[in-house]
Chain A
C-alpha cells in the first residue's frame, strides 16, 4: 500500500540513511521549513551584500566603485532577491513549520508537493544568482518594465535570467498556495472551527488566496515578455503595435497583491506574539480576521496607484487614489487592535516583544508615507525618488523583516530545542533599530529634494551628500546587527539553554508538544474547544505550566515516506526553463535541454503518481 508505517524497526532503518539523502528526500514539513529558512537566509545575505555595495557606491557624490552597468544589476538583483528569495521564503519557513502545528495536524495535505515547492524555489533562486557568474545578472529593475526589458533595450541574457527565473519561482509559490489552502481548510484538529484558528493561520490562508489569484497574472506577463525576447513577437514592442502599458497593468495586478503577500504573514506573526507577551487574548479577533480579508480584497483594486505618472486620466487616478486610501482603514483597525492587545497587559519584555513593538512603530511610519503616495498629485512629485525607496523599506524591512525576526526569536526554541540569548537578542534589536532608521529615514529627505531612484551616482551640491552618507553608515550598522544575530545562533547552538516545550507560556497547540517536535508532531490528535486552547487547558488545570510532554516512539502512527520524485521533478522543471536560454529557441522553439527537462518532469510525475496513489498525511 501507499502507506509507510513507522514501526520502530522502520524508524531505525530510516536513521541509518545518510543525512544528505534524508534531507534531499524528506517530505516532513518541519525539515522542509528549516530548509526554506536556511536557503532564504543565504539569499538574504546575498541581497544584503548587494545593498552594501550599492550604499558604498552612493556614499559620496561622483563615486566610481562599480560601473553603471553593474550598478543596474545590483539594484535589480537586490530587489528581486529580497522579495522573491528572502521575504517570501522566510514567510514560507513559518508556513511550513508552524501551520500544521498551529492547526493540530501531523503534516500538510500534500507532503511531496511541499518538498517540490522547496526544491523548485531553491533551484530557481540558484539559477537567478548564477547569472552573476557569467557577468550577466538581470539589469532592468525588479518590475522589468517593458520596453526597457525587451530585446531591443536589454540585449544579452541579463533579463532572460529574470524572465525564466521568476517563472520557475512562480511554480513553487503556486504549488505551495494549493497545498496550504487545502491544508488549512481541511486538516484542522477536531473542534478548530475557522473562527478559532490562530491569526497566523488566517493570514497564511489569505496570503495563499492572493498567491493563487495573482501569480497566474505575472506568469502570463512573463510568458509574453519571454515570447518578445526569445521568439521575436511584439506584445510590448511599439513598432509592432504593442503596448508597454499592458506590461505595467499586468505586472501591478500581480505586484500590488504581492505587497500583501509580503506583509500579511508578518501581521499574523505579530498577532501571535503580542497576546503571549501581554498575557491577554488578541483584542478584536474577528475584526482582525475580516480586516485581513478586506486588505486582500482591496489589494486587487489598487494596482494602478503604481502608475499615476503614466497619465491614465483624472477618472482612473481618482478611483485608484480613493481605493488606496480605503486600505488605510482595515490596516488602522489592525494597528489599533494590536495596541488594544498590549493595553493593560502584563508585558513580558522578551526579545520577541521588542521586535513586535518595533514592527508596529516602523510599520506605522511606512504606512503613513504610503497614504501620502495615494494622493495622486503628491505622488507625481514623489514617484521614482528616494522618498519611495524610504517608504517601501519602512514597510518591507521595518514591517516584514522585523516581524519575521520577531517570529524567529519566538519560535526558535520550538524549531531547534534551544533558547536564543536574551542579552544578544536585545543587542540585535537595538542595533537593528538604530541602523534601520539611520539608513532609511534620511532617504525621505533625499527623495523630497529630488534625488531619483536607481541612479548610479549624483553630483555634489544638490543637498544629497549628507543624507547619502548617513544612509551608508546606517547600512553597515544594520549589517552589523545581522552579525549579532548570527553570533547569537552560533553561541546558543553550542552551549545554549535547552528549551522546554513551552518557554513563553504560549496559547497555541505547538507549545503542547516537545521542542523540537517529534516527526509525527502530535502523539495524540488534539481536540480544540475554543480560541487560545492551551491557555484554556492551563486555566482548567489551575497551573501556569503544563507537565513536560513525552514524545513517545510514534508506534502505529502512519506518516508518508521519503521520496526522490519531488527533487527529480524540480530538476526537470529547471532544465525545461533553462533550455530556453541555451538552445537558440528562435531557430526552433524547443531545444534539447528543454525537451530533456520536459521528459524528466513527465517521467518524475508518473513515478510520483504511482509511488502512492492515495496521497494522505494524517493518521486516522
Chain B
C-alpha cells in the first residue's frame, strides 16, 4: 500500500522519483510534520502551564485586567480562525489543479498571517507604552514569552506560506506536488489551534485577575 499509487499510474514509474514504497499509507514528510506537531504540543503545553502557574502571582502591576484589549485580540483571533479555512480552500485548489482558486485563497491566508502578526506587534507596542515591559512582573514575562513564541510560529508559517505562494505564482505547485502546501497547511492549523487555547486561557480567563 502506498499513497502514491495513483500518481504512479498517472505519470509512470520512471517519471516520478518522489514516489516510493512506504510502510504506512502516508508520505514520509507528512508523517514527519505530524510528529513535529506532536512535539510542539509539549512545547506550548509547558509555556501555557508556566503562564497558569504564575497567574495572579505578580507582585506589582500592570495586571491583565488593567491592559487587555479584548476587541483587538478577538479580531485577531477571528482572522486567524478564518485563515485556517482559507488554507483548506487553497489546498483544494492545488489538489484539483485549479490555479485561480489556489492563488486566491493562498493570498488571503498569507494576508491573514501578516494581519495577525501586525496585530500582535501593535499589541506588544501598546502594552509596553502602558508600562508592561518584559521584566515588569511575572505576568508580563510569562505572557510575552508565551504569546511571543506563538507569534514567532505565526511569522514562520506566514513566511512558509508566502514562499509557497511565490512558487504557486510561478506554477511550481502542480497537483502531484500539493503535499508541499498540505504540510504548511497542517502546521498552520496547529498554530491556529494553539491560539484557540491561548485566547480563552490567557485573555478571557485572566480578565478579573
Contacts and interface: CB of A to CB of B under 8 A. Distances in A.
Interface string A1-37: 1110000000000000000000000000000000000
B23 A241 contact: no
Contacts of A220: 43, 46-47, 50
B74 interface: no
Interface string B35-47: 1101110110011
Interface string A91-108: 000000000000000000
Given A186-B22, A216-B40, A232-B135, A227 B28 contact: no
Given A232-B135, A233-B141, A616-B18, A186 B39 contact: no
Given A219-B43, A241-B57, A613-B177, A212 B142 contact: no
A498 interface: no
B23 A558 contact: no
A3 B19 CA distance: 12
B138 A234 contact: yes
Contacts of A178: 32, 35-36, 39
B180 interface: yes
A231 B135 contact: yes
Contact of A235 (B28, B142, B163): B142
B11 to A, nearest CB: 13
B193 interface: no
A179 interface: yes
Interface stretch (A129-137, A242-250, A271-279, A334-342): A242-250
A233 to B, nearest CB: 4
Contacts of A234: 135, 137-138, 141
Given A241-B138, A620-B13, A250 B46 contact: yes
Given A178-B39, A235-B141, A620-B21, A186 B135 contact: no
Interface in B13-59: 13, 17-24, 26, 28-29, 31-32, 35-36, 38-40, 42-43, 46-47, 50, 53-54, 57-59
A110 B38 contact: no
Contact of B35 (A2, A212, A216, A613): A212
B203 interface: no
Contacts of A179: 32
B24 to A, nearest CB: 5
Interface in A217-266: 217, 219-221, 223-224, 227, 231-235, 240-243, 246, 250, 253
A223 B145 contact: yes
Interface string B65-103: 000000000000000000000000000000000000000
Interface of B: 13, 17-24, 26, 28-29, 31-32, 35-36, 38-40, 42-43, 46-47, 50, 53-54, 57-59, 134-135, 137-138, 141-142, 145, 163, 177, 180
Contacts of B43: 216-217, 219-220
Contact of A242 (B17, B26, B38, B138): B138
8 contacts: A3-B17, A181-B32, A186-B26, A217-B46, A234-B137, A235-B54, A613-B177, A613-B180
Nearest to A223: B145
B58 to A, nearest CB: 6
A213 B39 contact: yes
B20 to A, nearest CB: 4
Given A185-B24, A240-B59, A235 B46 contact: no
Given A188-B23, A232-B135, A241 B58 contact: yes
Contacts of B39: 174, 177-178, 212-213, 215-216
Contacts of A250: 46, 50
A187 B22 contact: yes
Contact of B134 (A187, A223, A233, A606): A233
Contacts of B23: 185-188, 192
A614 B32 contact: no
Contacts of A190: 21
Interface in A291-322: none
A505 interface: no
A95 B46 CA distance: 28
- Name, among B17, B47, B53, B137, the residue most crowded by chain A CB atoms within 10 Å (CB to CB): B17
A241 B17 contact: no
A616 B20 CA distance: 8
A241 B59 contact: yes
Nearest to B32: A182
A581 interface: no
- Name, among A2, A177, A216, A609, the residue most crowded by chain B CB atoms within 10 Å (CB to CB): A216
A489 B46 CA distance: 45
Given A212-B35, A212-B42, 6 more contacts: A177-B35, A185-B31, A224-B145, A235-B50, A614-B17, A616-B18
B141 A212 contact: no
B134 A231 contact: yes
Interface string A179-200: 1011001111010100000000
B147 to A, nearest CB: 14
Closest 7 CB pairs of A and B: A216-B43, A614-B18, A233-B141, A216-B42, A220-B46, A212-B39, A188-B23
B174 to A, nearest CB: 12
Given A224-B145, A227-B141, A613-B180, A109 B13 contact: no
A250 B53 CA distance: 12
Contacts of B26: 186
Contacts of B134: 227, 231, 233
Contacts of A421: none
B61 to A, nearest CB: 12
Interface string A581-607: 000000000000000000000000010
Contacts of B19: 620
